Amino acid sequence: KKSKRLEARKRFKIERKVREHKRKTRKLQAKQVHKIMKKNRISIPQQIPNECPFKDEIIQEFTMLSTLEREERIRQKSLGNKNELKEIADKARKRVDEFAEVERL
């Protein structure tokens, strides 16, 4: 029966590789989360100087447009889901009808 004992060098090498791999996966996951957050974040235009007499109006307009865009995206997603559900339901009905016809024969 062969011993399961490893050389210390091999054991530490394996542990080091595992640590490196885990660190790499955590790093990639953090980057992906950062990309998603960055994509969904609202950015106010940074080039509006304080001396601009209509700065408040510009910022309000921008925030209003961004909220409208967000609501539009949400509405489009919900419409897309409804259409997909309708298509799935139609396909299921067709299959049931076909199965019923086969059963009759």
pLDDT value, residue 12: 97
Whether residue 28 lies inside any domain: the answer is yes
Whether residue 74 lies inside any domain: the answer is no
List C-alpha distances in Å: 42 to 37, 38, 67, 71. Answer: 10, 8, 9, 13
Q: Are 85 and 72 in contact (CB under 8 A)?
A: no
Whether residue 10 lies inside any domain: the answer is yes
- Whole-angstrom distance, CA of residue 59 vs CA of residue 65: 10
Whether residue 11 lies inside any domain: the answer is yes
Per the structure, the count of domains in the chain is: 1
Whether residue 53 lies inside any domain: the answer is no
pLDDT value, residue 84: 76
pLDDT value, residue 46: 66
Per residue of the chain (105 residues), what is the pLDDT tens digit?
889 899 999 999 999 999 999 999 999 988 888 777 776 665 656 677 888 888 888 888 888 888 888 888 888 777 777 777 788 888 888 888 888 888 877
pLDDT value, residue 40: 64
Alpha-carbon dihedral 9, 13, 15, 20, rounded to 10 degrees: 160
pLDDT value, residue 91: 86
Range of the domain at 21: 1-35
